[in-house]
């Protein structure tokens, strides 16, 4: 018996309900439910054969370079055959650009089928010329129907498929509009089956919008093997590509790029870049070291503390967790006796980077204390460490990698947690261990 019924689905997270709801109980989005028709067509497929693990040849372990080092890094060392990679990000951030640039390396695998539902072949040609991408292996397909794409793929037999973007693709079998949750899920699943069957890599590009008007790539995350997100501010040329899920490599690896006239340029030494415009002898600025995947990154944290002109003081956090700021402000208040209650506090990680590692606690504390006391921190000093609620400074992981990176960039002195300082082997830098936040601030703002 075929079952066909109407259900309501949240366009932001994919939660479904038999009746319309004003607020999604899953993701909390308002007015996000639309009517969709679910056609449950389950056909029985051939039963799979069991296999002995040791008899499987691990040909899937072979990786192919995209020709872009930073992209290979986020993928876990290159793209794996038969893998499905989702590249998500705000519109205009550079998703189409990076994929087009990667064709230089991917064309070595053979034919690339670039399905574009957003741009015409002429537009893509203009962009490719600008990026100096030229290859007979790149085939453009301005098609938006899933059935059309699949039949064309069977004809062309490509070695790589790119879908730009999944929101524009629709299946004729579903009555809902392109971009709706059921369309996105259905199309991605069918495409994934195709990629697995032919053992070719599939790249899916997906837009994320804050309003959730178009179904976000969130619903795809569990279908695909690897999820890369493009981060960055519109006004800032830096772009960060972050792996948030990877079945073939480590997560939280990042790739750093700079958007230029001729496309995205890889940034070999991001620390240098993030510190390049650092002001000297200005209160409220300090350098800390964060570890992104396997790579240490020196970043500048800035804070501005001003007397509040309203009853409730403002707290603004850009690039760091808002609740973490409140917690650290409370520690500063209680343990250092800084009266921040009536102060507006703004904290910013320079360069549009987002960091959620407790190792930068000490950086945030130092920046706030420095701005509050209006005393600058020496530009040759860096600091890191996790702050506890009783003001103790806790050791963090992989301190040696962080210290070496700071030494490489010419830092002379580091204020770090005591147990981290005991293991320091680097002779070129003066590492001072401290037990608590109070001591650290005293050292930094002498
Ligand atoms: P795009 O890759 O089209 O974004 P997405 O596919 O994520 O929507 O990037 C578009 C932006 O990048 C656009 O604002 C212009 C800028 N850009 C450059 O600055 N230089 C370039 O060489 C290219 C191709 C784009
Ligand atoms: Mg695009």
Atom of ligand 1 nearest to the CA of 89: 7
Cα–ligand 1 centroid distance for 127 (angstroms): 9
CA–CA gap between residue 253 and residue 260 (Å, rounded): 23
Domain that holds residue 176: 63-268
Cα–ligand 2 centroid distance for 121 (angstroms): 13
CA–CA gap between residue 227 and residue 361 (Å, rounded): 28
pTM, two decimals, is 0.80
**97, 100, 208, 239: residue to mutate for ligand 1 pocket, most atoms within 8 A of CB:** 97
Q: What CATH number is associated with residue 300?
A: 3.30.230.10
On whether both 35 and 135 belong to a single domain, the answer is: no
CA–CA gap between residue 125 and residue 142 (Å, rounded): 13
How many CB atoms neighbour CB 313 within 10 A?
Answer: 17
| Domain end call among 225, 246, 268 | 268
| Domain end call among 217, 237, 268 | 268
Cα–ligand 1 centroid distance for 259 (angstroms): 8
**115, 230, 259: residue to mutate for ligand 1 pocket, most atoms within 8 A of CB:** 259
On whether both 228 and 309 belong to a single domain, the answer is: no
Phi and psi at residue 315, in whole multiples of 5°?
A: -130, 125
pLDDT at 238: 86
pLDDT at 4: 53
On whether both 414 and 339 belong to a single domain, the answer is: yes
Residue 56 lies in a domain: no
User: Radius of gyration over alpha carbons of the chain, in Å?
Assistant: 25
Cα–ligand 1 centroid distance for 263 (angstroms): 7
CA–CA gap between residue 274 and residue 353 (Å, rounded): 9
The closest residue, in CA terms, to atom 13 on ligand 1 is: 92
CB-facing half-sphere around the CA of 312: CA atoms within 13 A = 2
- Structure letter (DSSP) for residue 50: P
The closest residue, in CA terms, to atom 11 on ligand 1 is: 92
Cα–ligand 2 centroid distance for 96 (angstroms): 4
Structure tokens at 227: 């999820």
Beta-bridged to residue 245, according to DSSP, are: 227
CA–CA gap between residue 1 and residue 40 (Å, rounded): 10
On whether both 301 and 436 belong to a single domain, the answer is: yes
CA–CA gap between residue 34 and residue 393 (Å, rounded): 50
Residue 52 lies in a domain: no
Q: What CATH number is associated with residue 97?
A: 3.40.50.300
| Domain end call among 246, 268, 290 | 268
> Per-residue b/e over 252-284, b at no fewer than 16 CB within 10 Å?
bbbbbbbbeeebbbebeebbebbbeeeeeeebb
On whether both 332 and 195 belong to a single domain, the answer is: no
Q: How many domains does the chain have?
A: 3
pLDDT at 140: 95
Q: Write the CA distances from 146 to 12, 154, 174, 182, 341, integer angstroms.
A: 22, 12, 11, 13, 57
On whether both 181 and 283 belong to a single domain, the answer is: no
- Residues 6+ positions from 95 with CB-CB distance below 8 Å: 87, 88, 89, 164, 165, 205, 230
On whether both 230 and 256 belong to a single domain, the answer is: yes
On whether both 8 and 97 belong to a single domain, the answer is: no
pLDDT at 435: 95
Residue 210 lies in a domain: yes
CA-wise closest residue to 255 among 227, 287, 230 = 230
Structure tokens at 210: 């804050």
Task: Give the angle subtended at the CA of 373 by the CAs of 371 and 375, to the nearest 5°.
Answer: 75
Residues with CB under 6 A from ligand 1: 89, 91-97, 127, 130-131, 259, 261-263
The closest residue, in CA terms, to atom 12 on ligand 1 is: 94
Atom of ligand 1 nearest to the CA of 90: 7
Residue 141 lies in a domain: yes
Residues with CB under 5 A from ligand 2 (ion): 96
Residue 8 lies in a domain: yes
On whether both 284 and 261 belong to a single domain, the answer is: no
Residue 83 lies in a domain: yes
CA–CA gap between residue 304 and residue 348 (Å, rounded): 9
Strands 226-231 and 112-116: unpaired
- CA 219 from centre of chain: 16
Which ligand ends up closest to the CA of 92?
1
- Helix (H) or strand (E) segment spanning residue 257: strand 254-260
On whether both 249 and 315 belong to a single domain, the answer is: no
Cα–ligand 1 centroid distance for 91 (angstroms): 9
Structure tokens at 304: 């501005």
pLDDT at 412: 92
- Residues 6+ positions from 333 with CB-CB distance below 8 Å: 339, 340, 341
Classify the C-alpha dihedral 399-401-407-409 as positive or negative: negative
Contact 413, 421 (CB under 8 A): no
298: helix, strand or coil: strand
Residue 20 lies in a domain: yes
Residues of the chain where predicted confidence (pLDDT) is lower than 50: 1-2, 212-214
Rounded to a whole number of angstroms, the distance between the first and last alpha carbons of the chain is 79
Residue 50 lies in a domain: no
On whether both 437 and 386 belong to a single domain, the answer is: yes
pLDDT at 1: 40
Cα–ligand 2 centroid distance for 118 (angstroms): 7
Structure tokens at 309: 């002109």
**86, 87, 94: residue to mutate for ligand 1 pocket, most atoms within 8 A of CB:** 94
CA–CA gap between residue 9 and residue 339 (Å, rounded): 49
On whether both 31 and 131 belong to a single domain, the answer is: no
Q: Write the CA distances from 136 to 38, 112, 163, 403, integer angstroms.
A: 41, 9, 19, 48
């Amino acid at each position: 018996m075929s079952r066909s019924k109407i259900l309501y689905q949240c366009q932001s997270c994919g939660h479904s309900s038999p009746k319309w709801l004003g607020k999604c109980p899953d993701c909390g989005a308002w007015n996000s439910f639309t009517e969709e028709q679910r056609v449950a067509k389950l056909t029985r497929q051939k039963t799979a054969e069991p296999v002995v693990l040791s008899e499987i040849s691990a040909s899937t372990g072979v990786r192919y370079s995209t020709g872009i080092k930073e992209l290979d890094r986020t993928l876990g060392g290159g793209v794996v055959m038969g893998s499905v990679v989702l590249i998500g990000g705000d519109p205009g951030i550079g998703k189409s650009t990076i994929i087009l640039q990667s064709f230089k390396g991917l064309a070595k695998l053979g034919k690339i089928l670039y399905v574009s539902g957003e741009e015409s072949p002429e537009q893509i040609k203009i962009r490719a010329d600008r990026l100096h991408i030229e290859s007979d292996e790149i085939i453009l397909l301005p098609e938006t129907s899933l059935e059309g794409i699949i039949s064309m793929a069977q004809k062309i037999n490509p070695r790589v498929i790119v879908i730009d973007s999944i929101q524009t693709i629709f299946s004729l079998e579903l009555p809902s509009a392109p971009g709706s949750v059921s369309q996105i899920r259905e199309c991605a699943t069918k495409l994934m089956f195709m990629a697995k069957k032919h053992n070719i890599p599939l790249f899916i590009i997906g837009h994320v919008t804050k309003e959730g008007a178009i179904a976000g790539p969130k619903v795809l995350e569990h279908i695909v093997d690897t999820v890369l997100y493009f981060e960055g501010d519109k006004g800032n040329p830096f772009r960060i590509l972050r792996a948030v899920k990877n079945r073939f490599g480590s997560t939280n690896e990042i790739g750093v790029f700079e958007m230029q006239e001729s496309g995205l340029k890889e940034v070999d030494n991001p620390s240098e870049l993030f510190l390049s415009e650092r002001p000297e002898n200005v209160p409220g600025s300090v350098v800390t070291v964060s570890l992104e995947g396997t790579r240490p990154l020196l970043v500048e944290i800035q804070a501005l503390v001003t007397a509040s002109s309203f009853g409730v003081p403002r707290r603004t956090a850009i690039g760091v967790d808002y609740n973490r700021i409140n917690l650290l402000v409370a520690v500063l208040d209680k343990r250092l006796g800084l009266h921040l209650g009536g102060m507006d506090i703004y904290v910013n990680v320079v360069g549009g980077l987002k960091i959620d590692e407790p190792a930068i606690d000490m950086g945030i504390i130092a920046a706030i204390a420095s701005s509050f006391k209006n005393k600058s921190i020496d530009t040759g000093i860096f600091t890191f460490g996790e702050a506890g609620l009783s003001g103790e400074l806790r050791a963090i992981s992989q301190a040696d990698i962080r210290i070496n990176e700071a030494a490489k960039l010419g830092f002379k002195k580091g204020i770090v947690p005591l147990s981290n300082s005991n293991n320091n082997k680097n002779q070129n830098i003066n590492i001072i261990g401290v037990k608590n936040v109070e001591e650290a601030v005293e050292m930094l703002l002498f």
